[in-house]
A and B are shown apart, each in its own frame.
Chain A
Amino acid sequence: MEIIRTNSLTKYFGTTPASDNISIHVKEGEIYGFLGLNGAGKTTLIRMLLGMIKPDNGNIALFDKQLTPQFDQWNDIGYLVETPYSYPNLSVTENLKVYYKLRQLTNPKLIDDIIEKLKLTNYKDKKAKVLSLGNQQRLGLAKALMHKPKLLILDEPINGLDPEGIVEVRELLKDLANKGSTVFLSSHILGEISKIANRIGIIHEGKLVKELTTKELTDQLIKKIVVKTSDNTKAVQELLSSNYIAALTDNDEIEITNSEAIAKPENISKLLVEKNLPPKQVYLFTEDLEIYFLRTIRNKE
């Protein structure tokens, strides 16, 4: 079943396209990462998915139901949009009680459970205004998760979290997906999203410029073998004569881009030793995810 389906979703603010003809399909149990620079249109799309902004064109279906004012499955959805704010004079527990009431929940244990799950027990009686940024983020996530939603829509969920918190949230989201929940999350950090998501959509200037699985992403990253010897010029000639695609860089390093070389770098070492050019350095370079992301959006400009 497709949990989220958007069809040619378009939204203009004045003459600026915040969302330009976006069609995405997210299946049950999937973690879909939505990636884009600040201002790329991620939050606009999320607000449209939540019925907060009306698209100028196109339509949205959640759980196979058209998103109209009559949509009645809001308790199957948990969400966090932009910076999570809370009522500053209320404690963590009281803040959650507000949404417990507004979500018409009937099991008070849900509040204590989510407080414990997000490690907010020591802060449950503290006012929201004295919480650290990381704990405010945890409280925002607690509001989104308290009612055990089938679909989670999270806008930059790891903002403000410390490394330990990032790992915890990552594991939490993976666990939820394993139990059948669907997660749609946005971020501007590809490295983080690639660790969580099964599928990634890249948005730039309101357009969906690329959609790929995590496996496809790994395959698309530029990889090369970087070698240094005592005589790099001679080594390049030897490599070329052995049908390797090798070139000397400005940094006086040899870059080899053959897929065979990448698959078996030990053959490079062996060849150079045989030619009396033992390598001082051989390593596999993999393109940084951020560079890949920037390369992708620049190619579309």
Chain B
Amino acid sequence: MKQQIQALQAEFIKNKYSNILWATFIAFGLAPIMGGVFILIVQDPDALAKAGGLAAKAQAMNFEGNWKSYFGLLTQAVGVGGVLVFGFVASWIFGREYSDGTAKDLLSLPTSRTKILNAKFAVYVIWCLALVVSNLLIGLLIGTFLRLPTPETNILFPLLTDYFITTFLTILIGVPIAFFAIWGKGYLAPLGFVALTLVFAQIIAATGYGSYFPWSIPGLYSGAGGEYKKLLDNYSYSILILTCIAGYLATVIYWKTADQTK
């Protein structure tokens, strides 16, 4: 356990001054700001008339000026945008060792390769959780500032539950990206994989089979697919969990056994 903690501390030192860290918070933080703009538009009929495209988007999403609608938007940002942003985080954490040329320095140490990977996965989870908590706090600030009507306490709990379950599902589906970073020895392969999964997630969800495509599941759960959320069943969650486990095992086995020539 001590080795695992020290590996985690080493990962924290590595990420201390990462510009990417702040870039992901800024990118992910656009969602609650966008939600705030929607609130302003729907709260003001004149603005609604002038806002054009944004107003149309807000109306298409049946966006209303209340906490339920705002939380729904934040949850969808996690389920859809999270696949991209969390994927970017995973690509960075695992791919940087090859881009920085430091991967070879992690392979022949008293701390095992598996523990080093576990530390990276832990940083990935912590980073993603920090992103969603940050969005939640920004959302609460904006919602309070824009004087959204005080919600009934009984709707808050299910909204928060949906938000964090979507987070959990999105984090799980980001795990296989680590394999592509290590196999592709850098950022390109995992980022390409993220882009592909995003495209396929949209297409497959639109055809009605998204409940069996792991990368569509967080988005569907978040409500981004509307009524398709009802299609999610135990098989859907099992597929997602199995994809996560397969991704983790592939990453560990590949890093432990493949020839490391870079």
Asked if A and B are interacting partners, one says: yes
Residue from the list B16, B107, B116 in contact with A52, Cβ < 8 A: B107
Do A52 and B109 touch (CB < 8 A)? no
**Nearest CB on A from B101, distance (A):** 3
A51 lies within 8 A of B110 (CB): no
Q: How far is the CA of A75 from the CA of B105 in the complex (A)?
A: 13
**Contact of A90 (CB < 8 Å), options: B16, B101, B259:** B16
Distance of A187 Cα from B121 Cα, bound (Å): 38
Q: Please, what's the 1-or-0 string for B228-262, where 1 marks a CB less than 8 Å from any CB in chain A?
A: 00000000000000000000000000001101110
A102 contacts B14, C-beta separation under 8 Å:
no
Contact status A102-B101, CB under 8 Å:
no
- For B9, give its contact among A52, A72, A79, A101 (CB under 8 Å): A101
Within the complex, which residue of B13, B19, B102, B261 is in contact with A47, where a contact is CB–CB below 8 Å?
B261
Q: Is A51 a contact partner of B108 (Cβ separation < 8 A)? A: yes
C-alpha gap A85/B106 in the complex (Å): 12
Does A26 interact with chain B (Cβ within 8 Å)?
no
Chain B proximity of A80: nearest CB distance (Å): 9
Q: Let me know if A94 and B107 touch, CB within 8 A.
A: no
Q: Is the CB of A98 within 8 A of B108?
A: no
Over the window 1-34 of chain B, the binary record of Cβ atoms lying under 8 Å from chain A Cβ atoms (1 yes, 0 no) is 0110011011001101111000000000000000
Check A104–B2 contact: CB distance below 8 A: yes
Chain B residues within 8 Å of A85, by CB: 100-102, 105
Q: How far is the CB of A19 from chain B (nearest CB, A)?
A: 12
Q: Which residues in window 136-177 of B have CB below 8 A to A?
A: none
Kindly list chain A residues whose C-beta atoms are within 8 Å of the C-beta of B261: 47, 52-53
Chain A contacts for B2, CB-based, 8 A: 104
Return the CB mask of B95-116 against A: 1 if under 8 Å, else 0: 0000011101111111100001
When C-beta atoms are compared, the residue in chain B nearest to A71 turns out to be B108
A72 to B111, CA, bound (A): 10
Q: How far is the CA of A77 from the CA of B102 in the complex (A)?
A: 17
Query: What 0/1 pattern do residues 115 to 132 of B give for CB contact below 8 A with A?
Result: 010000000000000000
- Given the complex, which residues of B lie within 8 Å of A90, measured CB to CB? 13-14, 16-17
Nearest-neighbour CB distance to chain B for A250, whole angstroms, equals: 47
A238 to B92, CA, bound (A): 78
A contact residues around B18 at 8 Å (CB): 89
- Which residue of B is nearest A51, CB measured? B108
Nearest chain A CB to B27 CB, angstrom units? 19
Q: Is the interface of A mostly helix, strand, loop or mixed?
A: loop
- Interchain CB contact under 8 A, A50 and B107: yes
A271 CB within 8 Å of chain B:
no
Contact present for B259 and A53 (CB under 8 Å)? yes
Q: For B110, give its contact among A75, A83, A94 (CB under 8 Å).
A: A75
Q: Contact at A86–B102, with CB atoms within 8 Å?
A: yes
**Which of B13, B105, B106, B257 lies at the interface centre, i.e. has the most chain A CB atoms within 10 A of its CB?**
B105
Count, chain A residues at interface, CB 8 A: 30
Q: Please tell me if the beta carbons of B10 and A101 are within 8 angstroms of each other in the complex.
A: yes
Instruction: Provide the residues of chain B in CB contact with A50, threshold 8 Å.
Output: 107-108
B residues in contact with A83, CB < 8 Å? 101
Question: Which chain A positions have C-beta within 8 A of B101?
Answer: 83, 85
Which of A77, A79, A102 is B116 in contact with, Cβ under 8 Å? A102
- Binary flags per residue of A73-91, CB closer than 8 Å to B gives 1, else 0: 0110101011101111110
Check A51–B111 contact: CB distance below 8 A: no
A99 with B105: CB separation less than 8 A = yes
CB nearest neighbor in B for A86? B102
Decide if B16 touches A94 in the complex (CB within 8 Å).
yes
B110 touches A101 (CB 8 A): no
Contacts of A102 in B (CB 8 A): 6-7, 10, 106, 109-111, 116
Contacts of A143 in B (CB 8 A): 105
Question: How far does the alpha carbon of A81 sit from the alpha carbon of B108 in the complex, in Å?
Answer: 11
A135 and B110 CA atoms in complex are apart in Å by: 26
Given A52-B104, A85-B100: A104 touches B111 (CB 8 Å cut-off): yes
B185 to chain A, nearest CB (A): 13
| A203–B106 alpha-carbon span in the complex (Å) | 27
Cβ < 8 Å to B, chain A residues 61-116: 69, 72, 74-75, 77, 79, 81-83, 85-90, 94, 97-99, 101-104
Indicate if the CB atoms of B14 and A87 lie closer than 8 Å. Answer: yes
Closest residue on chain A to residue B104 by CB atoms = A81
| Minimal beta-carbon separation of B9 from chain A (angstroms) | 5
Sort A-B residue pairs by CB-CB distance and give the 6 closest, nearest first.
Answer: A85-B101, A101-B10, A52-B260, A89-B17, A50-B108, A101-B6
What are 13 A-to-B residue pairs whose CB atoms are below 8 Å? Answer: A52-B107, A74-B108, A74-B109, A77-B108, A85-B105, A86-B102, A90-B14, A98-B14, A99-B105, A101-B9, A101-B10, A102-B7, A103-B109
Residues of A within 8 A of B (CB): 47, 50-54, 69, 72, 74-75, 77, 79, 81-83, 85-90, 94, 97-99, 101-104, 143
Residues of B within 8 A of A (CB): 2-3, 6-7, 9-10, 13-14, 16-19, 100-102, 104-111, 116, 256-257, 259-261
20 other A-B residue contacts (CB within 8 Å) besides A52-B108, A104-B6: A47-B260, A51-B108, A52-B104, A54-B257, A54-B259, A77-B108, A81-B104, A81-B105, A85-B100, A85-B102, A86-B100, A86-B102, A87-B14, A89-B17, A94-B13, A98-B10, A99-B105, A101-B10, A103-B109, A143-B105
